[in-house]
Amino acid sequence: MPHSVTPDRPGKRERLVASATELLHQDGVQATTLAQIANAADVPPGNVYYYFKTRDDLVHAVIDSRAEQISGLLRSLDRRSSPGARLKGLTNSWAEVAELVAAHGCPLGSLSSELNKCDHDLAGAAAKLFGLVLDWSEEQFRAMGRRNARDLAITLFAGVQGAALLADTLGDPKIMRREARRLERWIDQLSG
Protein backbone atom coordinates (compact mmCIF):
# COMPACT_ATOMS: atom_id res chain seq x y z
CA MET A 1 0.00 0.00 0.00
CA PRO A 2 1.61 3.33 -1.03
CA HIS A 3 2.11 6.04 1.56
CA SER A 4 2.07 9.75 0.78
CA VAL A 5 4.74 10.46 3.40
CA THR A 6 7.91 8.46 3.71
CA PRO A 7 9.60 8.13 7.11
CA ASP A 8 12.49 10.31 5.91
CA ARG A 9 10.44 13.09 4.36
CA PRO A 10 7.85 15.26 6.05
CA GLY A 11 4.44 15.82 4.49
CA LYS A 12 3.66 18.65 2.11
CA ARG A 13 2.14 20.89 4.76
CA GLU A 14 5.18 20.50 7.03
CA ARG A 15 7.53 21.16 4.12
CA LEU A 16 5.58 24.28 3.16
CA VAL A 17 5.76 25.64 6.71
CA ALA A 18 9.48 24.83 7.00
CA SER A 19 10.27 26.46 3.65
CA ALA A 20 8.13 29.49 4.46
CA THR A 21 9.86 29.84 7.83
CA GLU A 22 13.27 29.86 6.20
CA LEU A 23 12.37 32.11 3.27
CA LEU A 24 10.45 34.64 5.36
CA HIS A 25 13.50 34.93 7.62
CA GLN A 26 15.97 35.23 4.75
CA ASP A 27 14.01 37.45 2.38
CA GLY A 28 11.18 38.96 4.42
CA VAL A 29 7.43 38.51 4.30
CA GLN A 30 6.72 41.04 1.58
CA ALA A 31 9.47 39.79 -0.76
CA THR A 32 8.61 36.10 -0.49
CA THR A 33 6.04 34.66 -2.88
CA LEU A 34 3.93 31.55 -2.49
CA ALA A 35 5.54 30.20 -5.66
CA GLN A 36 9.00 30.52 -4.08
CA ILE A 37 7.79 28.74 -0.95
CA ALA A 38 6.18 25.95 -2.98
CA ASN A 39 9.33 25.53 -5.06
CA ALA A 40 11.57 25.36 -1.98
CA ALA A 41 9.20 22.83 -0.39
CA ASP A 42 9.09 20.72 -3.57
CA VAL A 43 5.31 21.10 -3.66
CA PRO A 44 3.33 22.04 -6.77
CA PRO A 45 2.25 25.69 -6.43
CA GLY A 46 -1.42 24.80 -6.81
CA ASN A 47 -1.23 22.53 -3.78
CA VAL A 48 -0.42 25.43 -1.44
CA TYR A 49 -4.09 26.45 -1.35
CA TYR A 50 -5.10 22.94 -0.35
CA TYR A 51 -3.22 23.40 2.93
CA PHE A 52 -3.54 27.17 3.38
CA LYS A 53 -6.57 29.11 2.17
CA THR A 54 -4.67 32.41 2.16
CA ARG A 55 -1.11 33.64 2.33
CA ASP A 56 -1.86 34.95 5.82
CA ASP A 57 -2.85 31.43 6.89
CA LEU A 58 0.61 30.24 5.89
CA VAL A 59 2.25 33.12 7.79
CA HIS A 60 0.15 32.19 10.84
CA ALA A 61 1.47 28.62 10.50
CA VAL A 62 5.03 30.01 10.46
CA ILE A 63 4.30 32.00 13.63
CA ASP A 64 2.84 28.88 15.27
CA SER A 65 5.91 26.88 14.23
CA ARG A 66 8.23 29.51 15.72
CA ALA A 67 6.14 29.51 18.91
CA GLU A 68 6.55 25.72 19.17
CA GLN A 69 10.31 26.07 18.71
CA ILE A 70 10.52 28.74 21.39
CA SER A 71 8.36 26.75 23.79
CA GLY A 72 10.52 23.67 23.24
CA LEU A 73 13.68 25.65 23.97
CA LEU A 74 12.18 27.15 27.12
CA ARG A 75 11.01 23.71 28.32
CA SER A 76 14.52 22.36 27.84
CA LEU A 77 15.96 25.29 29.82
CA ASP A 78 13.48 24.65 32.63
CA ARG A 79 15.49 21.52 33.48
CA ARG A 80 18.44 23.66 34.61
CA SER A 81 19.11 23.95 38.30
CA SER A 82 18.47 27.63 38.97
CA PRO A 83 16.72 30.66 37.45
CA GLY A 84 20.10 32.25 36.75
CA ALA A 85 21.32 29.12 34.95
CA ARG A 86 18.10 29.04 32.93
CA LEU A 87 18.45 32.70 31.89
CA LYS A 88 22.11 32.18 31.01
CA GLY A 89 21.08 29.19 28.91
CA LEU A 90 18.70 31.45 27.03
CA THR A 91 21.40 34.04 26.37
CA ASN A 92 23.73 31.27 25.22
CA SER A 93 21.08 30.07 22.75
CA TRP A 94 21.20 33.53 21.15
CA ALA A 95 25.00 33.44 20.96
CA GLU A 96 24.78 30.08 19.19
CA VAL A 97 22.83 31.62 16.28
CA ALA A 98 25.06 34.68 15.91
CA GLU A 99 26.12 33.77 12.36
CA LEU A 100 22.52 33.33 11.23
CA VAL A 101 21.49 36.60 12.90
CA ALA A 102 24.38 38.50 11.28
CA ALA A 103 23.36 37.12 7.88
CA HIS A 104 19.56 37.57 8.04
CA GLY A 105 18.58 39.26 11.30
CA CYS A 106 16.88 37.78 14.34
CA PRO A 107 14.31 35.18 13.30
CA LEU A 108 11.85 36.58 15.86
CA GLY A 109 12.69 40.25 15.67
CA SER A 110 12.74 40.49 11.89
CA LEU A 111 9.43 38.68 11.50
CA SER A 112 7.76 40.62 14.31
CA SER A 113 9.01 43.96 13.05
CA GLU A 114 7.83 43.34 9.51
CA LEU A 115 4.44 41.96 10.55
CA ASN A 116 3.94 44.83 12.99
CA LYS A 117 3.62 47.07 9.93
CA CYS A 118 0.67 45.02 8.64
CA ASP A 119 -2.90 46.24 8.98
CA HIS A 120 -4.33 42.93 10.19
CA ASP A 121 -4.06 40.36 12.91
CA LEU A 122 -0.62 39.12 11.81
CA ALA A 123 0.97 41.88 13.88
CA GLY A 124 -0.75 40.68 17.04
CA ALA A 125 0.03 37.05 16.27
CA ALA A 126 3.73 37.83 15.89
CA ALA A 127 3.75 39.69 19.21
CA LYS A 128 3.00 36.41 20.97
CA LEU A 129 6.51 35.24 20.05
CA PHE A 130 8.03 38.06 22.09
CA GLY A 131 5.48 37.41 24.82
CA LEU A 132 6.65 33.81 25.24
CA VAL A 133 10.24 34.91 25.87
CA LEU A 134 9.30 37.89 28.02
CA ASP A 135 6.84 35.96 30.20
CA TRP A 136 9.30 33.08 30.74
CA SER A 137 12.16 35.47 31.51
CA GLU A 138 9.96 37.36 33.95
CA GLU A 139 9.20 34.08 35.75
CA GLN A 140 12.92 33.41 36.09
CA PHE A 141 13.69 36.86 37.48
CA ARG A 142 10.74 36.54 39.87
CA ALA A 143 12.11 33.17 41.04
CA MET A 144 15.37 35.03 41.76
CA GLY A 145 13.38 37.21 44.15
CA ARG A 146 13.34 40.27 41.91
CA ARG A 147 10.28 42.50 42.32
CA ASN A 148 11.00 44.31 39.06
CA ALA A 149 11.01 41.02 37.16
CA ARG A 150 9.11 42.34 34.12
CA ASP A 151 11.46 45.29 33.76
CA LEU A 152 14.46 42.96 33.95
CA ALA A 153 12.94 40.65 31.35
CA ILE A 154 12.45 43.61 29.02
CA THR A 155 16.04 44.76 29.61
CA LEU A 156 17.33 41.28 28.79
CA PHE A 157 15.30 40.97 25.60
CA ALA A 158 15.98 44.56 24.52
CA GLY A 159 19.71 43.90 24.86
CA VAL A 160 19.45 40.86 22.64
CA GLN A 161 17.25 42.52 20.03
CA GLY A 162 19.51 45.57 19.91
CA ALA A 163 22.55 43.34 19.45
CA ALA A 164 20.71 41.37 16.76
CA LEU A 165 19.89 44.54 14.83
CA LEU A 166 23.49 45.73 15.04
CA ALA A 167 24.92 42.32 14.13
CA ASP A 168 22.63 42.11 11.11
CA THR A 169 23.17 45.69 9.97
CA LEU A 170 26.95 45.52 10.37
CA GLY A 171 27.22 41.86 9.31
CA ASP A 172 29.19 41.09 12.48
CA PRO A 173 28.22 38.00 14.53
CA LYS A 174 30.76 38.95 17.23
CA ILE A 175 28.39 41.70 18.35
CA MET A 176 25.73 39.11 19.18
CA ARG A 177 28.18 36.86 21.03
CA ARG A 178 29.68 39.77 23.01
CA GLU A 179 26.25 40.98 24.08
CA ALA A 180 25.26 37.46 25.16
CA ARG A 181 28.40 37.23 27.33
CA ARG A 182 27.71 40.67 28.81
CA LEU A 183 24.15 39.65 29.62
CA GLU A 184 25.41 36.46 31.28
CA ARG A 185 27.67 38.55 33.55
CA TRP A 186 24.70 40.83 34.32
CA ILE A 187 22.58 37.79 35.23
CA ASP A 188 25.39 36.57 37.53
CA GLN A 189 25.38 39.97 39.28
CA LEU A 190 21.61 39.78 39.77
CA SER A 191 21.87 36.20 41.05
CA GLY A 192 24.52 37.04 43.64
For residue range 46-92, list pLDDT tens digits in order. Answer: 999 999 998 899 999 999 999 999 999 999 999 999 999 999 999 99
Shared domain check, 85 and 47: no
User: Do 43 and 18 belong together in one domain?
Assistant: yes
| Alpha carbon distances (Å) from 166 to 54, 77, 95, 117 | 34, 26, 14, 21
- C-alpha triplet 98, 113, 89: angle, nearest 5°: 35
Residues 84 and 125 in one domain: yes
Q: What is the DSSP string of 6-28?
A: -TTS--HHHHHHHHHHHHHHHH-
Same domain (yes/no): 154, 187: yes
What per-residue confidence (pLDDT) applies to 131? 95
* 160 found inside a domain: yes
CA-to-CA separations, 74 to 81, 93, 125, 132, in angstroms, rounded: 14, 10, 19, 9
128: Cβ–Cβ under 8 A, 6 or more apart, which residues?
Answer: 63, 67
* 97 Cβ contact partners less than 8 Å away, ≥ 6 residues apart: 107, 176
Residues 101 and 8 in one domain: no
* Pairwise pLDDT comparison (1 vs 44), residue with the higher score: 44
User: Which one of 44-48, 115-119, 150-154 scores highest in mean pLDDT?
Assistant: 150-154
Which residue range(s) make up the domain with 73?
Answer: 64-191
Give the model's pLDDT for residue 3.
44
Same domain, 132 and 39: no
Q: 121 and 36 in contact (C-beta within 8 Å)?
A: no
Domain assignment present for residue 58? The answer is no
Mean pLDDT of 142-153: 97
Classify residue 175: in a domain, yes or no: yes
Which 3 state secondary structure label does DSSP give 44? coil
Give yes or no for residue 139 having a pLDDT over 70: yes
Q: Residue 163: which CATH number?
A: 1.10.357.10
Q: Residue 20: what pLDDT?
A: 96
Residues 33-51, mean pLDDT to the nearest whole number: 94
Q: How many CA atoms lie within 13 A of 125 on its CB side?
A: 20
**E strand or H helix that includes residue 51:** helix 48-51
Q: Are residues 111 and 182 in the same domain?
A: yes
Q: How many domains does the chain have?
A: 2
Find the mean pLDDT for residues 21-38: 93
Nearby residues of 72 by Cβ (< 8 Å), 6 or more positions away = none
107 and 49 co-located in one domain: no
Please state, in angstroms and rounded to a whole number, the distance separating the CA atoms of residues 121 and 104: 24
